[in-house]
Amino acid sequence: LPLYSNAGQILPALKSQQVEVGLKGQTGNLGWSMNAFDIQRPQYSDMGNCDVDGSCVRRMDGNQEHQGIEAGATMKWTGGAIQVSAMHLQAKRTKSADAGLNGLEPVNVPRTSMRLHAQQSLPSVPGLTLAADWTHESGRVILPDNSMSIPGWSRLDVSARLTPTTSRGR
């Protein structure tokens, strides 16, 4: 856009750093995992007045720090399975040129997310599998100064899949 004085210029590649420690296990039909992580991720921002052509510059502006925990489990049985996962995240801005943004939540990062997937084949109808997926994410801020946010949301998807079976001996 003409708003940017560096319009059309290639932005430099930035590198995130992540440290993660976790455990995984399997007991019979039950698998599980737990991990903790710390991610340092560079942040791009629009700098300047950004109100007339050439008054804005898109450049690196500090970091986002993401620290969190995540857990998940899967249980399988003949013809079916259920998977569940949850994550809790604390994220903040650091090293911004605008000191007022440091310590605030980064834009569009939910604090919690949860997922559930279940499926079951029906022996009475060969080839038919029913499934449901539930997703939830908490609210998140939508402006860098954290002055506006949107609420969390949930979604439920249900599906049926019929895989044709071939009959033999005809």
Q: How distant, in Å, are the alpha carbons of 67, 82, 98 from that of 32? A: 21, 12, 42
State residue 168's pLDDT score: 56
State residue 150's pLDDT score: 97
List residues bridging with 26 in a β-sheet.
31
State residue 167's pLDDT score: 63
Residue 74 gets the label, from left (phi > 0), alpha (psi -120 to 50) or beta, of beta
Nearest-angstrom CA–CA distance, 121 and 111: 35
Q: What is the pTM of this model?
A: 0.80
pLDDT tens, residue by residue, 130-170: 999 999 999 999 999 999 999 999 999 999 999 987 765 54
What contacts 142, CB < 8 A, 6 or more positions away?
A: 107, 108, 148, 149, 150
Q: Which residue blocks in 39-134 are alpha helix, DSSP H?
A: none
